[in-house]
Structure 1
């Protein structure tokens, strides 16, 4: 049974298809600045929908980030599909009627704006300004003080008003309350309760527990983590915000402090880290003591 009594003002992480999304911009800023977690943006930008260099909301969190936030009581999990309430036929009819009324109001305002009598034409305004500039230049050459009435507000031409005249359109402001969305009955304050409800599975294996433990260990030392698959590891480890710093380590998670590695694997980790100007960090997780041991590998002469 989901519990809301201790949810307080925690961040809301919305779970759909076993993936964690954050939609609220303020929550995203809090996660980044206060909790030192980066996530990955996956949404397109409204005016640049075809590019994929800079993305927007929602932000997708790594499973390790989700576990850290929930276990530290910074966030709660929400079963997003169940939070959407299926509207009744009457509600759909009411929303449709409201939409039609809003469209009719805007059309009426457009029609009213089109009937406004036009003022001075653009060409007339241009010619008048040219005459005023010539008179001012002539007065300056003659050494006389230009007539201040030339620049008075009373002489300012009227901006043309026709079909392009300004009018007011009321746009409803965004709100945190939606009639069709209610998460109070599908909110979970712990990983175990979310697992019991079947909306979240991580961690469920020794390797996943090891990744959560290593992630927490590095995070508690003030590090920022990002995905490290491009650099041959599980994480990239930054000494500060990735927007300001390059990664110092690429980290691999080992399921045990005595986990076996072949010499070729050690050489590969060391060479790859050196080529990318990083040290490779081997992180051994002890599932009994819940401790992490670290070993960095560098190619000889690096740095």
Structure 2
């Protein structure tokens, strides 16, 4: 029993190492698109990178066309909270781009060589898709004839043609008509270098100091609307851990209703979490800079 558990641990460690080796590194700073005051990431490699390296999960808001139900699983783009986008920009990991203006400028000033390369890439992708479709159809037909031959050996022996004769291995001399490809992204049109001048930082709520404090402690933070709070704090990746705290930020001099604390404490205890209240302490010298962030956790003793 002990040996099997040790072997399973070694197998898991080897799998994790393989995942780390195959992970794609994203050059920093990476791009965050601002669309109608919403901060979006369209690159799947960047989405996995910030989750792995910067503990930023975000919320997937895109639809998956092949899914039977559109309200269960979502895809790209990934929407970031203003706090997440601002923190990434302030730390130099990302930069903001006005999505509409950058696309119009890229389409207007793209030279002929870039346009030709873009069209050639679409044509190659269409030809590859057409060849794959023809090969798939030929494979299905060959399997069908083999199945018929096995079910009726006499008919198979009398048949003058076999799947090998119907579908020779030699490639056809007729040109393959490429399929029409609808581009799903235009990120290649935008230059990788940060724009100048840079866009202003996102406007964040007063709970931003609490967000940065919890993030610096290694917590993964997600929107807490479903629990009646501002953030839900996880000790690790939300796919592996349950959340520990329902976090709410407040100003240092802000008056807090006692019933809000009681309700938050009861709610947190009811869902097996702690109700965490925190804010930045104002400095004595009266400066506008936020001081040390202090947090207080409430738990309801009995229901």
- TM bucket (normalised to shorter chain) is 0.5 to 0.7
Larger C-alpha radius of gyration, 1 or 2? 1
Distance 1:67 1:156, change over 3 A: same
Q: CA deviation at 1:45?
A: 0.8
| Residue aligning to 1:243 | 239
Q: Is the 8 A contact 1:83 1:183 kept in 2?
A: no
Q: CA deviation at 1:48?
A: 1.7
Q: Is the 8 A contact 2:266 2:299 kept in 1?
A: yes
Q: Which one of 194, 199, 205 corresponds to residue 194 of structure 1?
A: 199
Give 3-state SS (helix, strand or coil) of 1:286's partner: strand
Greater relative contact order structure (CA < 8 Å, 6+ sep): 1
Structure 2, unpaired ranges of 5+: 1-26, 135-140, 284-289
Give 3-state SS (helix, strand or coil) of 1:58's partner: strand
Q: Which one of 26, 32, 53 corresponds to residue 13 of structure 1?
A: 32
The 2-side partners of 1:236 and 1:13 are apart by: 23
Give 3-state SS (helix, strand or coil) of 2:239's partner: coil
Calculate the TM-score normalised by the size of structure 2.
0.65
Calculate the TM-score normalised by the size of structure 1.
0.65
| Residue aligning to 2:216 | 220
2:256 is equivalent to residue 261 of structure 1: yes
Q: CA deviation at 1:177?
A: 6.8
Distance 1:124 1:248, change over 3 A: closer
The 2-side partners of 1:121 and 1:247 are apart by: 53
Give 3-state SS (helix, strand or coil) of 2:48's partner: helix
Q: Which one of 242, 266, 270 corresponds to residue 271 of structure 1?
A: 266
* Greater fraction helix: 2
Distance 1:82 1:60, change over 3 A: same
| Residue aligning to 2:301 | 300
Distance 1:72 1:160, change over 3 A: same
Give 3-state SS (helix, strand or coil) of 1:270's partner: helix
Q: Is the 8 A contact 1:259 1:284 kept in 2?
A: no
2:124 is equivalent to residue 129 of structure 1: no
Q: CA deviation at 1:125?
A: 4.9
The 1-side partners of 2:144 and 2:275 are apart by: 70
Deviations 1:45-66, CA, capped at 9 Å, x for gaps: 1212751111000000001101
| Residue aligning to 1:74 | 93
Q: Is the 8 A contact 1:13 1:22 kept in 2?
A: yes
| Residue aligning to 1:147 | none
Distance 1:240 1:161, change over 3 A: same
Q: Is the 8 A contact 2:33 2:99 kept in 1?
A: yes
Q: CA deviation at 1:261?
A: 2.0
Q: CA deviation at 1:286?
A: 2.3
Q: Is the 8 A contact 2:233 2:243 kept in 1?
A: yes
Q: CA deviation at 1:184?
A: 4.9
Q: CA deviation at 1:250?
A: 0.3
Structure 1, unpaired ranges of 5+: 1-7, 114-119, 134-149
Deviations 1:227-251, CA, capped at 9 Å, x for gaps: 1122121100111111111111101
The 2-side partners of 1:71 and 1:123 are apart by: 61
2:226 is equivalent to residue 230 of structure 1: yes
Q: Is the 8 A contact 1:77 1:187 kept in 2?
A: no
Give 3-state SS (helix, strand or coil) of 1:30's partner: helix
The 1-side partners of 2:294 and 2:45 are apart by: 36
The 1-side partners of 2:241 and 2:72 are apart by: 19
Q: CA deviation at 1:72?
A: 1.1
Distance 1:161 1:287, change over 3 A: farther
The 2-side partners of 1:255 and 1:29 are apart by: 34
Residues 162-173 of structure 1 mapped to structure 2, 5 A cutoff: none
Aligned length: 241
